[in-house]
């Protein structure tokens, strides 16, 4: 939504630790994890722990899982979730997750999972039955961190995951995440929606521009490699695309951060709009108000930049905000029904809308509030 300097610098939520996109470099696959677990098991046996097994009585031969149970929902969803391997021509690459979007073979995932393979690299998708398919990138939206890829020779009978309505999600709703944390594919974790409308600016650690989302927050365990995977509700419908985690830091020696119970997912209503645009045109479309936002400003609100470019680049006079009378230095404090406390929050909120939407915006000039109606413009493609 900012124009023309979307991501002047890595913007984080004020006063918080870094947000890391949940992507995993291929070199970090489960070697360390396997070794640690093996040692722990051996250590237990040495101490005589191995002899305390108790057998449960009369386990039925064929224990049935209720369709609505977590086991039942996971069994239904796993065949529609893929583990993605992306690599650039130079061997750099990573592991992430995606899920079947339609029967034509389109897979929805995060941009940061497949970005390394976008320019002539290699991309493959492995299903839960172990079958592997080559894939190609159909379109990427860096700002939204959404990408659509397509299997080159999709199998018959693909089952798209049903999409829920993320606007109707409530805090406390059950969640199920499926993905490949640390390369451990077909992993299922559970939790609840722990917050909604959480403004998140996440970087993938590569120094690339940030992505902005008004995220669903969950305490389902999400780790590097879960990126691009589905966040399901208690019916098994997709409510979000798992994309980032809050990191407590201190991983050491470049080790990726792990789950501290704060995961963030792009709401599926937004991801679906972006996916449809990418499938139709190959390009993302962003709603904009055509101002440059000062992402470093410490004011309580989103401050329109006052310097660094000519005035007509800080506020486009023919853009939505310019036509509504906004000027450089104004501080935007509300957008629609949401209070705005920072530049990243404003961008996250603008991008939950569509071009052409009419939204009420409140701004302060010399301490006085003014509320105007703004008709959102559009920008095609990533700058």
What domains sit in the chain, N to C, each tagged with a CATH number? 19-23+161-274 (2.40.10.10), 285-380 (2.30.42.10)
* pLDDT value of residue 218: 98
φ/ψ (deg, to 5) at 342: -165, 170
CA distance 308 to 294: 10
CA distance 186 to 179: 6
CA distance 35 to 378: 51
| pTM given for the model | 0.83
Q: Is 145 a catalytic residue?
A: yes
- Range name among 59-63, 308-312, 378-382 with the lowest pLDDT average: 59-63
Under the banding of pLDDT at 50, 70 and 90, the label for residue 28 is very low
From the list 269, 207, 277, 281, the residue with the least C-alpha distance to 240 is: 269
Which residues 6+ apart lie within 8 Å of 27 measured at CB? none
Q: Is 112 a catalytic residue?
A: yes
Which residues 6+ apart lie within 8 Å of 331 measured at CB? 299, 300, 301, 302, 303, 304, 363, 364, 365
Burial letters 79-97, b for 16+ CB under 10 A, else e: bbbbbbbbbbeeeebbbbb
- Name the more confident of 20 and 121: 121
Residue 311 CB neighbours (<10 A): 14
Burial letters 24-57, b for 16+ CB under 10 A, else e: bbeebbbeeeeeeeeeeeeeeeeeeeeeeeeeee
8 Å CB contact between 374 and 321: yes
Mean pLDDT of 106-112: 97
Mean pLDDT of 80-104: 91
Q: Is 373 a catalytic residue?
A: no
Mean pLDDT of 330-353: 96
Strand partners, 187: 179
CA distance 336 to 325: 17
- Mean pLDDT, the chain, rounded, equals 85
Beta strand 174-179 with 122-126 is unpaired
In the predicted model, is pLDDT for residue 92 greater than 80?
Answer: no
CA distance 230 to 173: 15
Which residues 6+ apart lie within 8 Å of 219 measured at CB? 191, 192, 194, 261, 262, 263
Could you say which of 6, 80, 112, 294 is catalytic?
112
- Is the dihedral angle over the CA atoms 172, 178, 179, 180 positive or is it negative? positive
Name the strand (E) or helix (H) holding 124.
Answer: strand 122-126
Could you say which of 227, 259, 305, 342 is catalytic?
227
* pLDDT value of residue 45: 44
Which residues 6+ apart lie within 8 Å of 189 measured at CB? 176, 177, 181, 220, 221, 222
* pLDDT value of residue 59: 61
8 Å CB contact between 260 and 190: no
Could you say which of 80, 106, 124, 145 is catalytic?
145
CA distance 114 to 219: 25
Per-residue pLDDT tens over the stretch 220-246: 999 999 999 999 999 999 999 999 999
């Amino acid at each position: 939504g900012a124009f023309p300097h979307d991501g002047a610098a890595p913007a984080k939520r004020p006063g918080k630790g870094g947000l890391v996109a949940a992507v995993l470099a291929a070199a970090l696959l489960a070697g360390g994890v396997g070794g640690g677990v093996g040692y722990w098991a051996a250590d237990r046996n040495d101490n005589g722990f191995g002899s305390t097994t108790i057998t449960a009585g009369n386990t039925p031969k064929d224990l049935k899982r209720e369709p609505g149970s977590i086991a039942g929902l996971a069994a239904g969803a796993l065949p529609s979730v893929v583990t993605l391997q992306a690599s650039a021509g130079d061997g750099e690459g990573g592991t992430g997750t995606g899920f079947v979007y339609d029967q034509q073979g389109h897979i929805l995932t995060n941009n940061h999972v497949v970005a390394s393979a976008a320019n002539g690299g290699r991309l493959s998708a492995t299903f839960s039955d172990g079958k592997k398919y080559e894939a190609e990138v159909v379109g990427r939206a860096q700002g939204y961190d959404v990408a659509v890829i397509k299997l080159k020779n999709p199998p018959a009978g693909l089952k798209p995951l049903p999409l829920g309505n993320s606007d109707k999600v409530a805090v406390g709703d059950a969640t199920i995440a499926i993905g490949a944390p640390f390369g451990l594919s077909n992993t299922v974790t559970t939790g609840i929606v722990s917050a909604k409308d959480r403004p998140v600016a996440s970087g993938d650690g590569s120094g690339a521009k940030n992505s902005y989302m008004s995220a669903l927050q969950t305490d389902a365990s999400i780790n590097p490699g879960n990126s691009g995977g589905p966040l399901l509700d208690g019916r098994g419908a997709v409510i979000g695309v798992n994309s980032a985690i809050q990191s407590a830091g201190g991983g050491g020696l470049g080790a990726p951060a792990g789950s501290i119970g704060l995961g963030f997912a792009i709401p599926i209503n937004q991801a679906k709009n972006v996916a449809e645009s990418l499938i139709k045109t190959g390009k993302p479309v962003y709603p904009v108000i055509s101002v440059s936002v000062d992402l470093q400003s410490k004011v309580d609100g989103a401050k329109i930049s006052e310097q660094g470019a000519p005035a007509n680049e800080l506020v486009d006079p023919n853009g939505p905000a310019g036509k509504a009378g906004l000027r450089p230095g104004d501080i935007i404090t509300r957008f629609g029904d949401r209070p705005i406390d920072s530049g990243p929050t404003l961008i996250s909120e603008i991008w939950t809308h569509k071009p052409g939407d009419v939204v009420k915006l409140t701004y302060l000039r010399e301490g006085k509030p003014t509320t105007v109606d703004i008709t959102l413009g559009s920008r095609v493609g990533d700058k």
